[in-house]
Amino acid sequence: MAKGVSNKNIENEISKSIIKLLIEEPFYAHILSGVSRKITNKVPTAAVGLIGKTITLFINEDFFLKSLTKASSKVAVIKHEVLHLVFKHIFRSKENKYDHFLYNLAADIVVNQYIGKWKLPESAVTLDTFPELNLEKNETLEWYYDKLVSFSDKNEDVVKKLNDLKVRKNHSDHSFWDKSNKYDNDSAQIIFGKLIVEAKKRTGDKDFDKLPLNIKNIVEIEILKQQQKIDWKSAIKIFFNSSKKTYLKYTYKRVSKRYGTRPGLKIKQHSKLLIALDTSGSIDNKELNEFFSEIHGIWKTGTEVDIVECDSEIQKHYSYKGKIPKYIHGRGGTFFDPVFEFINENRNLKYDGCIYLTDGYASKPKIKPYCPVIWVISPDGLINDHLWFGRITSLQI
């Protein structure tokens, strides 16, 4: 077959698949409108990655035309790659803390839960690939990654399965995820954020409402990042202003308007907030310094501020008196419940609200505090439906 004819065939098949996706799930198809496309034998199957700052969908012609015999599988593979972009897996894989092979498996487990009606190839890694791990649905990449790490050298069945996966050809190639430099990676993230917002604008409300909650949350946070009128500081100010309590105080400095005698009444507002600091190590010092700057501004308004430093457990609890502490305690794992358990067990402290600064990477909290909560998520943090109560805003520095 002539090369020109072959290229035309693969382009037609890709276009047909994207049109099917556009009809059924337009949000994902609209994202692809801003993604470059490259037919190449440098990937064995399909992949997303960066060429410079350009977000690119790579597809192997033989794989797409010959290995994927069902039209539904072609759509599933393309949607799979788009989901890696939506969850920003390609941007986060460069972090040195990950074993990249296990990271890739965890990323596939996440996105393959959202394929929906489309038929995944048999090579797909899903929740059912590892029945030994009793994997729960709708968890984070980090949650699945930690499960894989904890069993990767302990369970014989898991070890054998991992070794088999290392040598077999999966339907998704992740080799391009780690080839970009930091500048291109950061620039591409900004470009992709705008692409998500544009895809949302082009998607009808009915179709957008059908998206899973955590996908919608990712979109909403990208919209929030680009809204110049309301930034994270404004969101916090709105939150603590709404938390203020109004009360009456007798004062001899004021004459009663009704009786013309002293003491009179004075209307005062007061608020007591708990600031929960995620000190698990993924929150850097620049973010903490910026946040303490905002804490100081809140404190100067007369708001009473308590601080809890917490990673997997509460490390320290103290009242903020205008001075930033020299040391932050923690740098372990992350759990949200210790803070909320502390709030509920200390109702006598009468908090009017809780501000939680975190990157969002922790399991779903089981405890809901009695007071309102605002989550302030660090840049590139996780906004998911595991944050099932409270307001959410994104920390921009």
Identify the H or E element spanning 47. strand 46-51
Q: What is the pLDDT along the chain (397 residues), one digit of tens a residue?
A: 444 445 778 999 999 999 999 999 999 999 998 999 999 998 989 999 988 888 999 999 999 999 998 999 999 999 999 999 999 998 887 666 788 889 999 999 999 999 999 999 988 999 999 988 889 998 989 899 998 988 887 778 888 888 888 877 667 778 888 777 776 777 788 888 889 999 999 999 999 999 998 899 888 888 876 664 456 677 777 787 776 654 445 555 554 455 455 555 454 556 889 999 998 887 778 878 878 888 888 888 888 999 999 999 999 999 999 988 888 888 888 899 999 999 999 999 999 999 999 888 888 899 999 999 999 888 777 777 788 898 888 776 5
Q: Tokens 């998607």 identify what position?
A: 203
Cα–Cα dist 336/287, whole Å: 19
Pairs from 135-138 (Cβ < 8 Å, separation ≥ 24) = 135/109, 137/113, 138/113, 138/214, 138/385, 138/386
Cα–Cα dist 112/334, whole Å: 25
Q: What is the DSSP string of 318-344?
A: EE--S---S-----S---SHHHHHHHH
CB 132 within 8 A of CB 158: yes
Cα separation of the two ends of the chain: 54
**Nearest one of 169, 188, 173, 184 to 42, comparing CA atoms:** 173
Joined tokens for residue 163: 């070794």
Residues linked to residue 154 through DSSP beta bridges, in sequence order: none
DSSP structure class, residue 215 = H
**Nearest one of 161, 49, 55, 179 to 105, comparing CA atoms:** 161
Cα–Cα dist 363/124, whole Å: 25
Domain 232-245+271-394, CATH among 3.40.50.2300, 3.40.50.410, 3.40.50.300, 1.10.20.10: 3.40.50.410
Cα–Cα dist 1/209, whole Å: 45
Joined tokens for residue 396: 């921009």
DSSP structure class, residue 382 = -
CB atoms within 10 A of CB 363: 17
Which pLDDT score is estimated for 222?
Answer: 81
Cα–Cα dist 215/344, whole Å: 31
Q: Tokens 């949607």 identify what position?
A: 79
Pairing of strands 54-59, 36-39: parallel
SS3 269: strand
CB 79 within 8 A of CB 38: no
145-180 CB burial, b ≥16 within 10 A, e <16: bbbbeebeeeeeebeebbeebeeeebbbbbebbeeb
Which pLDDT score is estimated for 176?
Answer: 81
Threshold 0.95, pTM exceeds: no
Provide the edge-to-edge strand list for the sheet that holds 46-51. 36-39, 54-59, 46-51
CB atoms within 10 A of CB 260: 8
Q: How far is CA 167 from CA 170, 254, 349, in A?
A: 9, 82, 58
**Domains in the chain: boundaries:** 3-226, 232-245+271-394
